[in-house]
Amino acid sequence: AEYREKEEVEYYTSEKDPVANFKSRLLEEKIITEEGIERIESEVDKKIKDAVAFAEKSPEPKLEEFLEEVEQI
> pLDDT digits over 17-67, tens only?
999 999 999 999 999 999 999 999 999 999 999 999 999 999 988 888 878
Predicted TM-score of the model (pTM): 0.66
pLDDT for the residue 1: 55
Farthest-apart Cα atoms in the chain, separation:
53
Class of residue 23 by CB neighbours under 10 A (exposed 0-12, middle 13-18, buried 19+): middle
Which are the contacts of 33, defined by CB distance < 8 A and separation ≥ 6?
A: 27
Give the domain ranges of the chain: 6-72
Give yes or no for a contact between 27 and 37, defined as CB atoms under 8 angstroms apart.
yes
Measured CA to CA, the distance from residue 20 to residue 25 in angstroms comes to 9
* Euclidean distance between CA atoms 15 and 5, whole angstroms: 15
Confidence (pLDDT) at 70: 76
